[in-house]
Amino acid sequence: MSVEEAFAKAVGHQSSEKERARLYRVGDALGLHDNDAFWSIVMPLEHYDAFFRQSSAQLAEQTSRSIDGEAAQVQRVLSETVAEASEEIARKLAEKPVELHHVTTPPAAVVAFGGPCVASGYSLASADKPFAHGDEGAP
């Protein structure tokens, strides 16, 4: 019985081109002959190796799809939660009467008064002739 026939009998299907190449590579490396009993160990191991190679790729693909689906669901729930929280905050602010805040009102007043003062000072200082001297022809 050939190695290919023995493989087909052991694993239930004909070997693929890759499986045959790997089988013969292992056989050559171990110095196996077609009638060597060690093939009965190598063949199932080759079958399991091919199975797990294929399964790991499918598992990775399925895991990726599952993670993408979970991420989309988490993002949707997070968006809904943020929207609900924003609505709640807006509703509370709308119900609250407008009042001046005791910490921010004084600095705002200083800025509101200081801004025109600084602008006036800059305007007076950058004029061609000084503001205090008035008309040069007057005694």
pLDDT at res. 126: 72
- Hunting for tokens 């399964």 — which residue is that? 55
Residue 61 lies in a domain: yes
Instruction: Supply the pLDDT for residue 35.
Output: 78
pLDDT (tens digit, 9 = 90+) per residue, 72-107? Answer: 888 888 888 888 888 888 888 777 766 667 778 888
At 132 the pLDDT is 60
Residue 10 lies in a domain: yes
Dihedral sign for Cα 11, 7, 33, 31, please: negative
Domain for residue 104, yes or no? no
Q: CA of 91: how far to CAs of 1, 2, 81, 84, 99, in Å?
A: 83, 81, 15, 11, 16
Tokens of 76: 């949707």
Question: Per the domain annotation, does 43 fall within a domain?
Answer: yes
Q: Which residues contact 124 (CB under 8 A, 6 or more apart)?
A: 131
| The total number of structural domains that make up the chain | 1
Domain span including residue 11: 3-95
pLDDT of residue 131: 58
Q: Taking the model in full, what pTM does it have?
A: 0.35
**E strand or H helix at 110:** helix 105-125
Q: Write the CA distances from 47 to 3, 24, 33, 58, 113, integer angstroms.
A: 13, 14, 19, 17, 85
Identify whether 136 is part of a domain: no
Q: Which residues of the chain have pLDDT under 70?
A: 1, 97-100, 127-139
